[in-house]
Amino acid sequence: DTGVSQNPRHKITKRGQNVTFRCDPISEHNRLYWYRQTLGQGPEFLTYFQNEAQLEKSRLLSDRFSAERPKGSFSTLEIQRTEQGDSAMYLCASSTSSTGNTGELFFGEGSRLTVL
Amino acid sequence: KNQVEQSPQSLIILEGKNCTLQCNYTVSPFSNLRWYKQDTGRGPVSLTIMTFSENTKSNGRYTATLDADTKQSSLHITASQLSDSASYICVVSGRGGSQGNLIFGKGTKLSVKP
């Protein structure tokens, strides 16, 4: 069990550029979550997948954001036309159905985005 | 509105001292409450879970309490160590809700000084 892996760990981009983050969950976990966290705040829910199906999206996930989990394993989160307000830590987490239902998520170390 | 409020926002204590962090919530219906520890630059890690019927639960030097009537929880850290320096996040899960019903508090940033 290598844990949840995210890359890149850090991304600096200019406003208007597109960025993509990748998350590899714990192998036996069927649920995968994306959260956004800004300094001094708790994580904010963006979206989650059960296997390859995207079951829920937050209103925070504007049309510039898209997430995929094509084969039910790794996931990507793409942000198009980045804005300075997108600067944040993007956290990925995974769980099984049972641990997810108790709120126990296993988080990766995050991908920090800085938009200049 | 479902909310989780944590206090204090930040706390500085000396190594070896005890401290207590507070969490008040308005999430209803309630399923469970978790305390997560988040080291700087890392993802949160679950410390303990409290369900409706549980009042106290210990995990080593960490003891969590829950009062479901007043909708309050606390996390008590005994004999603090430098490695306890982190943000502690209270997360409340609504019963029967979606994954979006995991309501995260803003966290308490604890600094343990030698």
CB-nearest to A109 from B42, B89, B91 is: B42
Q: Which two tokens stand for residue B82?
A: 């430098």
- Chain A residues close to B46, C-beta within 8 Å: 104-105
Give A4-30 pLDDT, tens digit per residue: 999 999 999 999 999 999 999 999 899
The set of residues, in sequence order, having a beta carbon less than 8 Å from that of B52 and lying 6+ positions away, is B30, B31, B32, B68
Asked if A26 is an interface residue toward chain B (Cβ–Cβ < 8 A), one would say: no
pLDDT at A102 exceeding the cut of 80? no
State mean pLDDT over A52-78: 91
Asked if A54 is an interface residue toward chain B (Cβ–Cβ < 8 A), one would say: no
pLDDT at B97 exceeding the cut of 60? no
B38 by Cβ neighbours in 10 Å (0-12 / 13-18 / 19+) ranks as buried
Distance of CA A13 to the CA centre of its chain: 18
Q: What is the pLDDT of residue B28?
A: 81
Asked if A58 is an interface residue toward chain B (Cβ–Cβ < 8 A), one would say: yes
Give B5-64 pLDDT, tens digit per residue: 999 999 999 999 999 999 999 988 888 899 999 999 899 999 998 888 889 999 999 999
Contact A103 B32 (CB under 8 A): yes
State mean pLDDT over A61-69: 92
Contact B99 A4 (CB under 8 A): no
Report d(CA B27, CA B92) in Å as an integer: 7
Q: What is the pLDDT of residue A98?
A: 79
The kind and range of the H/E element at B74 are strand B72-77
Q: CA of B101 to nearest chain A CA: how many angstroms apart?
A: 9
CA angle B108, A90, B8 (to 5 degrees): 10
Report d(CA A80, CA A66) in Å as an integer: 8
Q: Which residue type is seen at A98?
A: S
What's phi and psi for A92, nearest 5 deg?
A: -110, 145
Asked if B102 is an interface residue toward chain A (Cβ–Cβ < 8 A), one would say: yes
Contact A42 B104 (CB under 8 A): yes
